[in-house]
Chain A
């Protein structure tokens, strides 16, 4: 019971936040943060626990976003059905791509996933008839579930943060289960894991699919809440950002994703008036973080706590 207290306090904090700062622009930023928490949690599972580097998470996110946008706008799908269709098709893509790609290791895996991401992005640009091409897709209808239409930022805020917290809890449970331990073993030493009878191909692809599903779900939510999407969402820099979020918050801590996303998504808001400097500053922050705190913020906090406890 005692271990649940921080989680309950955090949930309370999240629920009270819009009440504490009504009408604030930051609610909109928090909607974006919540969306990316969902996608980045998948990366912590895949990269952190299963040890498989993926540079195409943003492409899966974009695939989800476009599935919702195209199915809802052009084919008049029910919004929830479109979201599910997006998740299922992204999972299928992840399975088809993952089966051969996840046999690779190290930088071969990195360049292969990077290639997959680029190919998905180029496909979205080329299929301009359906996707609107490089200009993106405009005027996506606000999310409608069982007659209720999500309009304001506060409504999206509650929806997205409830989903984000569920995703975090589900992921924590996966990690603390037999599956999670198998993934950790693969990260540690895949040959040893295989000789202990762990089906490494199976667990690698499971992690890849789960992480793609999170990304797709987040993408669908983003499409509705933002009402505009473009193929730029699938840029390599966005896939890299998701990994940075995980490393910044603390790799293999799950909840560190919250800290990482909050910081990475606030930087552009805070540096808004220094637009030209944004890129150089983001780069320098990243370099310093990786060099001097590779364990991430939550990683450091946990290390200090562990040292204090006997």
Chain B
């Protein structure tokens, strides 16, 4: 009996780490764009959906090998991010928070609508990246895909942190958000860097979708809830902080699976926001926010 309890707990924790990693990837992409442009992109979840759908189409439809499909669809979603910036964000003359939130929500509706036209309402799934038997650990068993998901988060967050904190170009990109005018006077090509940030934001979001495609089904509107929870993770960790995004995502993922598993399914979509509200009331700047802002 005790063994059963233990393996159940391990099962919940691994499920939590998996969905937490996905929220972390959404939050990383969100922060990536926010840190360079101060744009609050609520369509990040749609990049996730587009990543999964594009990869599945390339692999199952065009019969491309999985690694090729993975790389190609990362690039494709990155390019969608660039188009998103060029035609939706950049034409906005006087960006205010209200307009940006509405505009990115509008873009999210549009992307969902287009996905509905391309893929219809049926759910799609992808095979696991490497064919392996499911892993057993302390009596719990789970898909090897989990390792891919967690690995992606580790690699992405570490490289983002290194790039923006330690390299010259990364610091230049951060300067774009602090003061675009001063940055361009210092010889920084603000417009190009904004384009790059949207490419990376889209690519990271898309990657998140591809990682979960083998674990769960993806539908045309399947990215929205994950996008909102990823946004909650970013706010929980402190908007703009990369370590915060990972911690926020993992915390939400674990809370969600443990609360759903042990208490009630009512918590499935609500615990993320209950936790968020609680944190905001106690510490409105998030868990990991730098004190200087």
Contacts and interface: CB of A to CB of B under 8 A. Distances in A.
B177 interface: no
B284 A115 contact: no
Interface in A34-79: 47, 53
Interface string A75-105: 0000000000000000000000000110110
Q: Is the interface of B mostly helix, strand, loop or mixed?
A: helix
Contacts of A53: 97-98, 101
B138 interface: no
A103 B114 CA distance: 38
B102 A115 contact: no
Interface in A244-301: 244, 247, 276-284, 286-287, 290-291, 294
A104 B270 CA distance: 20
Contacts of B98: 47, 53, 243, 247
A277 B109 CA distance: 11
A280 B91 contact: no
A112 B272 CA distance: 11
B106 A118 contact: no
A237 interface: yes
Contacts of A119: 270, 273-274
B88 interface: yes
Interface stretch (B2-10, B47-55, B154-162, B231-239): B231-239
A162 interface: no
Contact of A279 (B91, B113, B274, B277): B113
Contacts of A279: 109-110, 112-113, 116
- Bin chain A's interface residue count: 35 or more
Interface string A102-115: 01101110111011
Q: Is the interface of A mostly helix, strand, loop or mixed?
A: helix
A122 interface: yes
A126 interface: yes
Nearest to B103: A290
B115 to A, nearest CB: 9
A22 B277 CA distance: 50
Contacts of B277: 100-101, 112, 115-116
- Bin chain B's interface residue count: 35 or more
Given A122-B269, A122-B270, A279-B113, A112 B103 contact: no
Nearest to A117: B273
Interface string B100-130: 0111011111111110110000000000000
Nearest to A284: B110
Contacts, number: 113
B73 to A, nearest CB: 21
A240 interface: yes
B71 interface: no
A114 B99 contact: no
Given A107-B97, A283-B111, A126 B266 contact: yes
Interface in B250-279: 264-266, 268-270, 272-274, 276-277
A287 B88 contact: yes
B281 interface: yes
A131 B97 CA distance: 36
Contact of A291 (B92, B239, B269): B92
A107 B101 contact: yes
A108 B103 contact: no
A247 B92 CA distance: 15
A286 B102 CA distance: 9
A244 B108 CA distance: 14
Interface string A121-161: 01100100000000000000000000000000000000000
A273 to B, nearest CB: 15
B36 interface: no
A101 B274 CA distance: 12
A286 B239 contact: no
A268 to B, nearest CB: 13
A250 B78 CA distance: 35
Interface in B65-109: 88, 91-92, 94, 97-99, 101-103, 105-109
B273 A286 contact: no
Nearest to B275: A115
Contacts of A107: 40, 97, 101, 235, 239
Contacts of A47: 98
A278 B220 CA distance: 14
A287 B284 CA distance: 31
A161 to B, nearest CB: 28
B228 interface: yes
B169 interface: no
A8 to B, nearest CB: 33
Interface of A: 47, 53, 100-101, 103-104, 106-108, 110-112, 114-116, 118-119, 122-123, 126, 236-237, 240, 243-244, 247, 276-284, 286-287, 290-291, 294
Which 8 A-B pairs give the minimum distances between C-beta atoms? A283-B110, A280-B113, A115-B273, A279-B113, A286-B106, A283-B109, A126-B266, A122-B270
8 contacts: A116-B273, A243-B102, A276-B117, A281-B113, A283-B112, A283-B113, A287-B88, A291-B92
Interface of B: 40, 88, 91-92, 94, 97-99, 101-103, 105-114, 116-117, 224, 228, 231-232, 235, 239, 264-266, 268-270, 272-274, 276-277, 280-281, 284
